[in-house]
């Protein structure tokens, strides 16, 4: 079960018969909302010269351009960071050739963001995501019951959160 649109290239090369779809939804009374964003991140750290920060600003302005984001999306599978980049891809017919890549964009834009779906800041996010993925795979493979797998995911994720909190207190 891939956790990133960036894995689509590997999936295509696997020779497996696969497809992609919007995330399932429970239905009423819970409204379907947009998903949260995750994935690649660029960080700018403090402690550099003004000249270096100007260079960083130029670089970030460059990579944020719609044309660059459209190129980045085609090369990596990551979701473009602007709707204007998605519009370029749409106009080029990219999503007709790669319809599953449109799903991630549609899922992120499904509704107006809510306080719960604007994104999250979570210590050890990648490690927690890996734990949840491992436990879900255990459930799907029949190695654990749903209850045991989810309880183990909670225990392991909470341990990672506690370790993060101790490290940054």
pLDDT tens digits, residue range 11-31? 778 888 888 888 888 888 888
Torsion angles phi and psi, residue 99, rounded to 5: -60, -30
pLDDT tens digits, residue range 123-155? 888 899 899 999 999 999 999 999 999 999 999
Give CATH for domain 1-119. Answer: 3.40.190.10
Q: Is the pLDDT of residue 4 over 70?
A: no
Query: How does residue 3 score in pLDDT terms, banded at 50, 70 and 90?
Result: low
Per DSSP, the three-state class of 135 is: helix
H-only helix segments in 3-120 = 8-13, 50-63, 66-76, 83-91, 94-97, 99-108
What pTM value is reported for the model? 0.68
Query: How does residue 5 score in pLDDT terms, banded at 50, 70 and 90?
Result: low
Can you tell me the mean pLDDT for 57-86? 94
pLDDT of 123: 82
């Amino acid at each position: 079960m891939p956790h990133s649109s960036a894995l689509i290239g590997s999936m295509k090369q696997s020779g497996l018969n696969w497809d992609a779809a919007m995330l399932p939804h429970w239905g009423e009374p819970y409204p379907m909302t947009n998903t949260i964003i995750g994935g690649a991140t660029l960080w700018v750290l403090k402690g550099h010269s003004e000249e270096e920060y100007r260079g960083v600003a130029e670089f970030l302005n460059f990579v944020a351009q719609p044309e660059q984001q459209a190129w980045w999306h085609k090369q990596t599978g990551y979701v473009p960071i602007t709707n204007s980049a998605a519009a370029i891809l749409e106009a080029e017919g990219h999503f007709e050739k790669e319809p599953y890549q449109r799903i991630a964009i549609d899922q992120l834009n499904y509704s107006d963001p809510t306080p719960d779906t604007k994104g999250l800041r979570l210590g050890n996010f990648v490690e927690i995501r890996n734990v949840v993925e491992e436990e879900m795979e255990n459930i799907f493979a029949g190695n654990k019951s749903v209850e045991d797998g989810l309880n183990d995911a909670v225990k392991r994720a909470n341990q990672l959160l506690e370790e993060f909190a101790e490290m940054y207190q």
